[in-house]
Structure 1
Amino acid sequence: MRNRLIVLTIVVVSLFAYTKLMARIGSGSPPPDAPREQQADLIRVYKSERRMVLLKEEVPISTYRISLGQAADAGPKQREGDEKTPEGRYEIDWRNPKSMAHLSLHISYPGPDDRRNAHSNGFPPGGNIMIHGLPNGWGLFGDAHRLWDWTDGCIAVTNTEMRDIWARVPDHTPIDIMP
């Protein structure tokens, strides 16, 4: 039993060290922007369906299966640490090519109502909600990441999909996140 515990400890520490190392290395160069006619002007997320759609002039141009926050089915994000994905209208307000996950687009949560609601209940609202790929170094899991909701409130896709989304979603694109 003691030997198993030692092996398990070594495996866990090794995985942690690998993840930390890959997070520092980053995910490489982001793709170039898609031609303007292929860029989205709206993102819609359907939490209950685990689906995200890029639209241009209300016409779907791309659809992705997604993973969400671990407590995504428990309603909208209300406070820091609740592991819920927000609901409402936000926008993509900045991007991070060197994030701990394969590229990331920041969602403008918390909005004024989110801040007010969280503070009225005595909690910080949280933040750093992103659309992102898999953690750096874990891309080989590809589609398998969709078997469960594993983020802390973010919207996750495969690395290949994230490269496509990065190229097709300009800053300030609105995003509607629905139950």
Structure 2
Amino acid sequence: MKLFLAKAFDILGAPFYFRTPPRFMLLNFPHRPLFSTLLAMLTRRSLSLSSSRFTWVWLAAAACCVACAVPPKHTLEIANRDIVYAEEEGAAQYAPELLEAAKDSLDASFRKIRAEQGQWFEPMRDYTPAFTAALAASHHAQAAATATLEARQARQAQLEARLKEVNTNLLQAFQSTRGIPKHRAYNRNLTRAELTLSAAQDRLRQGDLDVVDQKFQEVSTIVNTVREGTGTYIADYLRGKRDRWGKWAKETVEVSARQKGYALIVDKSSHTCYLYYDGRLKKRYDADLGANWMAEKSMSGDKVTPEGKYRIIGKRQRPDGHKALDLNYPNADDLRRINEDKRKGKIRKGANPGYAIQIHSGGGRGQDWTAGCVALANPDMDELFRTVGVNTPVTIVGAWDNKAVAGSRF
């Protein structure tokens, strides 16, 4: 009889032998936790008794304990909480297969419970398969949450890198509008994009990644639209003019060499004023231009720095130290072109071509702000004012393809 009890203990009672069963045993048999210790006590007691008259009592009690099975309610609650947590973290987007596996396992657990509850003889019910399915549901849900966290971290790092790229593109777009007559309209759109990008940065810090992606797209759309517009304008501005500008610049350098004197070439695209002497480059100065420099000057108030071959016709110096070199704008070529544009209806007939174009001090601001003049920083203007005199050639070009002079924007 003792041998029989030992076998029965191995089969039925081993998981409950301990007075306080280890955690893994309780997990493996959650539907019998209330009777675990009791069964262990009964079984251990039966093995210590030599009288067979108590044996059948302990066997009957042990059988009742094993048969009293209940559904794994607590494990189901844990699995359900794990699934809800995974969904809240975004597993439906980042780990849909694991989340679906968790839900399927949870459904399977409930189906197995219903199947066992359909068993009319209650002592024969076994909820171990239901418990196993509930454990699987919890495992899949936790794996989905972990995968989601890792995916979100990777995506956040990707969006942070894209933020730098979008910000760089935005700054370049702002730069591309510099000097274009429509730059204010373009800049209004770019300012709106700048505000959108700032909002995207805030959302990125909050972890709202889907909204960040959407705002990046909005900014990119605005930037691309501005780039397309400025690119078209620049292409139209340059069309058919490069050769003419190059010819003017070359002739100006040749005059300097032939006369062994000074000459100035202003390259609007690089915002640079080049000083030549005897056909050789002596100095270069940074220059601020008219706010709408990327155009041909046609009337007073258009804030365009003119293009053409001019000369210094006067030198001015105020008591406050302001210095200026007067240019002979408009020259004969300017008047001929402006009158032709009036005849074609490009500008109104009564438009004044403008006057008082100078190279003057007050520059060095790093932006285009003048009404059409060329502005140098005060120390540069002081030096230039001492160096050049009346009748010094001054040529202003939109862009210069001189290989010896780098820095042209185009």
- Normalized against structure 1, the TM-score is what? 0.68
> Which structure 1 residue ranges, 5 or more long, are not aligned?
1-38, 135-141
Tell me what 2:299 maps to.
79
CA distance in 2, matches of 1:78, 1:57: 33
Which residue of 110, 113, 118 maps to 2:333?
Answer: 113
Structure 1 residues 79 and 66, CA gap change in structure 2 (3 angstroms) = same
**Aligned residue type for 2:286:** R
Task: Please identify which structure carries the higher strand content.
Answer: 1
Tell me what 2:251 maps to.
none
* 4+ aligned runs moved over 4 Å, structure 1: none
Tell me what 2:355 maps to.
127
Tell me what 1:57 maps to.
278
CA RMSD of superposed structures (Å)? 2.0
Tell me what 2:368 maps to.
149
Structure 1 residues 127 and 103, CA gap change in structure 2 (3 angstroms) = same
Deviation of 1:113 after TM superposition, in Å, equals 2.1
CA distance in 2, matches of 1:66, 1:151: 11
Q: Number of matched residues?
A: 131
CA deviation digits over 1:89-129, x for unaligned, max 9? 00011011128882000111100121233344122110100
Q: Flag the structure with more relative contact order, 1 or 2, with Cα contacts below 8 A and sequence separation at least 6.
A: 1
For the pair shown, the structure with the greater C-alpha radius of gyration is: 2
Tell me what 2:287 maps to.
66
Task: Please identify which structure carries the higher helix content.
Answer: 2
Structure 1 residues 41 and 149, CA gap change in structure 2 (3 angstroms) = same
Tell me what 2:405 maps to.
none
- 1:23-102 correspondence runs (5 A): 41-73=262-294, 75-98=295-318, 102=322
Identity %: 31
- 1:154-165 correspondence runs (5 A): 154-165=373-384
CA distance in 1, matches of 2:300, 2:335: 11
**Aligned residue type for 2:324:** S
SS at match of 1:72: coil
CA distance in 2, matches of 1:47, 1:118: 20
- Normalized against structure 2, the TM-score is what? 0.31
